[in-house]
Chain A
Amino acid sequence: MAKIPKVFFICGNGLGSSLACQMEADDVFQAAGIEVNSGHDSISAAPSLDADVIVSASNFESQFANTQIDPKTKIVYLDNIVDKNEIKEKVVPIIKEIAES
């Protein structure tokens, strides 16, 4: 029984751009035939999420540096959070690795 990875998409308010990113990523995962549990939230909530993977925009990198995220959580930063190719390149391999672990 492979594990279903829990992926959270993070932005400042947890409303608009994180949901936009999640919708694009869900399409990518579906096309690749990967099953994930995805959600979106604000950066304030990030430490309490217990996610396998956190996906956020590159401008949040310095903010995450000051946040206590569980070390087992992998954080991925995207330059263009709605670019399917970038999601395919950066996020999908990590998801596959977790699913097979």
Chain B
Amino acid sequence: MAVVQWIINNVLTQAAILISLIAMLGLMLQGKKPGAVIGGTLKTLLGFEVLSAGSSIIQQSLAYFAVIFQHGFNTKGIVPSIEAINGQAMNKLGLGNDIALTLLGIFIVNIIIARFTKWKYVFLTGQALLWMATMTVIGGHFAGLKGFPLILMGSIVGGIFAIAMPALAQPIVRKITGNDAIALGHFCTIGYLVEAGVAWLVRDRKVDQHVANIKERKDSWEHVNLPKSMSFLQDNSLSIMVVMIPLYIITAAFAGPYWSIKAAGGAAGSVNYIIYAFLQAIEFTVGVYVMLSGVRLMLGEIVPAFRGIAMKIVPNSIPALDCPVLFPYSPNAVIIGFITTTIGTVIGMFLSPLAGLAVILPGMTTNFFAGGTAGIFGNAVGGKRGAIIGGIAHGLFITLLPALLVGALSSVGFVNATATDVDTIVAALLYLWVLAPAFHAVG
């Protein structure tokens, strides 16, 4: 027994080792050669540690930013970043194991539902599943769950989302791609439906009565020539920097040298405080870049393994894939979606304190990927006007939801961060508003 106890204490509680074992299992089930199994397992281990390193870089930068924002504007400003939330949950709160096992559990629940119901969606966007596992574990942690019940609940909630979101989006995805070969697997789908709903209400009712495919639309952004210079925003690191640099510099200017130097905690040395803020903005981007490299290494082995297994178990499965798969179908709508969502998030930033909520700063990664995809939905359903008004509504919506989470997250120990992807937030709110009160009533 002592040996088993030692293994449980020293091996299975190490999230990095646990996730590597999950990858190893997947590689073995696929019948890979021993060399490929060892290589893939080690890569997953490396990926997890790189992810942790990236997350501590993000946290240092955000901790500095929190102080200068507080003193610059006398209010709390929160940078929404699912990456930061995931890093803090894994490293600071010690939930890494639960997240790794919930990720595996969501895979399993997804396959079971796809196998036995008419919804044949297999969710293949690894990082989105990781964010969903993170948020359901945080929600369960907040509701006071521990161990197996926490993981089981998270797997069921996450697994249902992994089927329901592609299913809800499919009628519009079919219009975009022209068939049912692929589905959309991205946990910002509720936001896309919000945009599509608003776009549909404000659409031009004189044209495009029955459009089966977006190519047939007369009223569409795809017939407009947009400047090519906007395309650099597709590079995630660049789009973060062009927003974070001015944000940090302006905030440091408002905070003044005294608080800026204090926030740096002696790390700035003799560097001018504005230059230091500039470097910290780059540092934030470095953290995101490193963290995403870790996620890439970590999931590069697990996702293909899951796909191989799912395809064997679920005949006629439809792969639910990451949102940029849709971008080539409607590239102009992506740019319009990004711009309008950003406008919406900026308006939301000013409105949220008026509603008694925290100031949520625009999160650029989400604005581009979720905003761009939402733009495709808005344009597909409501044409030019639909995409613009729907996009601003989408921006407001993805600012409001993270704001609702702030209180709950800070009560369980998160520093100056809130989540982004709205479906994962809805899952967490489900825990806070529905499941936690229910547990308390029963237990």
Interface residues of A (CB under 8 A from B): 11-17, 19-20, 23, 26, 40-44, 57-60, 62-63, 66, 78-83
Contacts and interface: CB of A to CB of B under 8 A. Distances in A.
B170 interface: no
Contacts of A17: 321-325, 327
Interface in B346-369: 365, 368-369
A12 B369 contact: yes
A17 B177 CA distance: 15
Nearest to B303: A19
Interface of B: 124-128, 177, 181-182, 186, 228, 231-232, 234-238, 289, 292-293, 295-296, 299-300, 303-304, 307, 319, 321-325, 327-329, 331, 334, 365, 368-369
Nearest to A80: B328
A59 B321 contact: no
A79 B228 CA distance: 18
Given A13-B292, A41-B296, A57-B327, 6 more contacts: A14-B293, A15-B125, A15-B127, A16-B125, A42-B235, A63-B234
Contact of B182 (A60, A66, A82): A82
A17 B319 CA distance: 12
A44 B319 contact: no
B323 A12 contact: no
B179 to A, nearest CB: 10
Contact of A16 (B127, B232, B235, B334): B127
A73 B177 CA distance: 30
Contact of B325 (A14, A26, A58, A81): A81
Contacts of A79: 328-329
A57 B295 CA distance: 21
B328 A59 contact: yes
A13 to B, nearest CB: 5
7 contacts: A16-B125, A16-B126, A16-B323, A17-B323, A17-B325, A20-B319, A44-B236
B325 A59 contact: no
Contacts of A16: 125-128, 186, 321-325
Nearest to B238: A44
A78 B329 CA distance: 11
Contacts of B303: 19, 23
Contacts of B124: 20, 23
A63 B128 contact: no
- Among B127, B181, B322, residue most surrounded by chain A Cβ atoms (within 10 Å): B322
Given A12-B368, A40-B300, A62 B228 contact: yes
B182 A59 contact: no
A43 B339 CA distance: 21
A42 B236 CA distance: 8
Contacts of B295: 15
A62 to B, nearest CB: 4
B296 A20 contact: no
Contacts of B128: 16
B328 A57 contact: yes
Nearest to A21: B325
Given A11-B324, A12-B324, A42-B236, A59 B334 contact: yes
A65 B329 CA distance: 20
Nearest to A58: B328
B149 to A, nearest CB: 31
Nearest to A24: B319
A59 B232 contact: no
Contacts of A81: 325, 328
A82 B319 contact: yes
B228 to A, nearest CB: 5
B83 to A, nearest CB: 11
B292 A14 contact: yes
Contacts of B127: 15-16
Nearest to B234: A12
Contact of B237 (A26, A44, A57): A44
Nearest to B331: A59
Contacts of A15: 125-127, 292, 295-296, 299, 322
A57 B304 CA distance: 20
Contacts of A82: 181-182, 319, 321, 325
B300 A19 contact: yes
Contacts of A26: 304
A60 B235 CA distance: 9
Contact of B232 (A13, A14, A66, A83): A66
A96 B185 CA distance: 33
A92 to B, nearest CB: 19
In the A-B complex, the 3 residue pairs with the closest CB atoms: A16-B322, A17-B324, A59-B331
A26 B301 CA distance: 13
A14 B369 CA distance: 13
Nearest to B307: A23
A62 B186 CA distance: 25
